[in-house]
Amino acid sequence: MKLFFTGPVVKTELLVVMLEKHGIAATQEFVDPAAPDDGDLNREANVLVPEADFDHARQLFFTEREDEL
């Protein structure tokens, strides 16, 4: 697994779902696993993707789209 994105849980949960919709088995883990899980949506988390899917995931979410205005 390779680190794809780090950010607040509110964003990482959505990103994991979006990656799964594209057939990429992403996982989420907290940056500080020792911190209590108190439901804070701003808690930092990492999104990990399989190394084989990393380039595809990056292309889907971080490259400019030529077909947009």
Provide DSSP, 23-64: T---EEEESSTTS-----TTSEEEEEE-GGGHHHHHHHHHSP
Tokens linked to 39 = 């439901």
Can you give the CATH number for the domain in which 56 is found? 3.30.70
Which has more confidence, 35 or 30?
A: 30
- Record the pTM: 0.86
φ, ψ (nearest 5 deg) of residue 54? -60, -50
Residue 16 lies in a domain: yes
Residue 28 lies in a domain: yes
Tokens linked to 7 = 């950010």
Banded model confidence at residue 39, pLDDT cuts 50, 70, 90: confident
Tally of domains within the chain:
1
For 52-65, what is each residue's pLDDT tens digit? 999 999 999 888 76
Q: Which domain holds residue 55?
A: 2-32+42-62
